[in-house]
């Protein structure tokens, strides 16, 4: 009678070695991800510290410019259209 080992004998050892290698690769990958993330955050912090205008103020200025452009465009559009009696607007200078 021959002894049979579960999981096919030597195949079990190969499976365990593969599992250990995958686990080690996961640990190395997560470590690299953490180090890369820390480097990115550090770089962003340094860039923000060197900025002459804080990001919040810069965003506020851009928002004000966008609002001003929107209202100017709306005024120009309204002044270039003429309302007809049926409620539809047509470009100024065209016959109705």
Domain assignment of residue 24, yes or no: yes
Domain assignment of residue 33, yes or no: yes
Distance between CA 96 and CA 77 in Å, rounded?
18
Residue 50: predicted pLDDT: 94
Q: Is the pTM of this model over 0.85?
A: no
Domain assignment of residue 96, yes or no: no
The residue range of the domain holding 54 is: 17-78
- Give 49-68 pLDDT, tens digit per residue: 999 999 999 999 999 999 99
Domain assignment of residue 72, yes or no: yes
Number of structural domains, the chain? 1
Asked whether 96 and 82 are in contact (CB, 8 A), the reply is: yes
- Residues 6 or more apart whose Cβ sits within 8 Å of residue 79: 92
Domain assignment of residue 67, yes or no: yes
Domain assignment of residue 11, yes or no: no
């Amino acid at each position: 009678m021959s002894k049979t080992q579960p999981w096919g004998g030597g195949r079990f050892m190969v499976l365990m070695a593969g599992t250990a290698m995958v686990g080690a690769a996961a640990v190395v990958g997560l470590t690299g991800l953490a180090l890369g993330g820390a480097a990115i955050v550090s770089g962003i912090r340094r860039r923000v510290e060197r900025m002459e205008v804080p990001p919040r103020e810069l965003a506020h200025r851009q928002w004000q410019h966008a609002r001003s452009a929107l209202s100017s465009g709306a005024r120009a559009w309204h002044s270039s259209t003429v309302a007809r009696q049926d409620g539809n607007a047509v470009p100024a200078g065209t016959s109705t």
